[in-house]
Amino acid sequence: MSIDANRFRTLFPRLCGTLTDAALAPLLECLRPRPFAEGEQLCRQGAHAARAIFILRGEVELRVSAPDVTITLGVLDAGRWTNTIPLIEPGQAEFDVWGRTAGSAVEMTYGDFLALRRDHPGTARVFLGGVISDLSLRLRASELAVGKKSTPPTHSVMRRATGWLGGAVLPPEPEPMVIGEDI
C-alpha cells in the first residue's frame, strides 16, 4: 500500500523538494505503514536500528534511560521524523521511541534506501538532501546545547522538529541549499 503523494508532500515538504509525482512515486513505494498504539514501543535504546520513522498522525516520545533515570528528549508529531541516521549508517539506537498517543507512521529501512539510491538516484538525492538539511539543524542545535544542561522539567521537551535542543535557542533557520531541482 502506498501513501498518498499529496499528503506526504504536505507533511514532509523538505523530503520531497520539487520532485514530480512520477519522481516521488518510488520513494512512496518503499515506505511501509507502521500504525502504533499509545504506549507501544517503536524502537528500543541499544537495539539494532535500521529504519527511519516518519509520523503521519499522532505523537511519539523519544526517551533515553540510564539505570536510575529516564528522561524525555522530545515529542514528535505529524510531519516530523526520527531515526534517519540508520538509513545512512545502521547501528544501535540511541534512544527509545514510544507511541505517546495512538497514531500512524511510515517506515523506511536501510535496505529500502539502498535500493532507492540504486534504482532511482535522482529521487534518492532529493530525499537525502532533506535528511542532510535536518541533520545539519540537529548538529547546529546540539553544538549550541552542549554544556547548557537544563534541569527537569525544562530539558524534557524537544519542540523543534528533530533537534536535540536541551534548552538551546536556535538561530533563525537559514535557507538550505537546493539540489536536484530539475528532477
Partner 1 sequence: MLHQLLENDWLFDDFSARELEQLANAMSEREVYSGEVLVLEDERPDRLFVLLEGAVEVSRKQDGAERVIAKLGPGSMFGLLALLDRGRRAATCVARGRGKVAEMPRDAFDLLYKSNAPLADKFQYAIARQLARDVKQMTRVLIAEALG
Query: Could you list the residues that contact partner 1 (CB under 8 A)?
Result: 64, 66, 69, 71, 73, 85, 88-89, 91, 94-95, 117, 121-122, 124-125, 128-129, 131-133, 135-140, 142-143, 145-147, 149, 155, 164, 166, 171, 174-180, 182-183
- Which secondary-structure segment (H or E) carries 94? none
Q: How far is the CB of 177 from partner 1 (least distance, A)?
A: 6
C-alpha cell at position 98: 514510544
100 or 138: CB nearest partner 1: 138
Q: How far is the CB of 94 from partner 1 (least distance, A)?
A: 5
Longest dimension (CA), the chain: 52
58 or 123: CB nearest partner 1: 123
1 or 169: CB nearest partner 1: 169
105 or 128: CB nearest partner 1: 128
Question: Rounded distance, CA 114 to CA 87, Å?
Answer: 8
Question: Rounded distance, CA 53 to CA 58, Å?
Answer: 13
Q: How far is the CB of 112 from partner 1 (least distance, A)?
A: 15
Q: What are phi and psi of 86, to 5 degrees?
A: -60, -15
Question: Rounded distance, CA 131 to CA 88, Å?
Answer: 10
Q: How far is the CB of 57 from partner 1 (least distance, A)?
A: 26
DSSP three-state, residue 42: strand
- Which secondary-structure segment (H or E) carries 76? strand 69-76
102 or 132: CB nearest partner 1: 132
Q: How far is the CB of 102 from partner 1 (least distance, A)?
A: 27
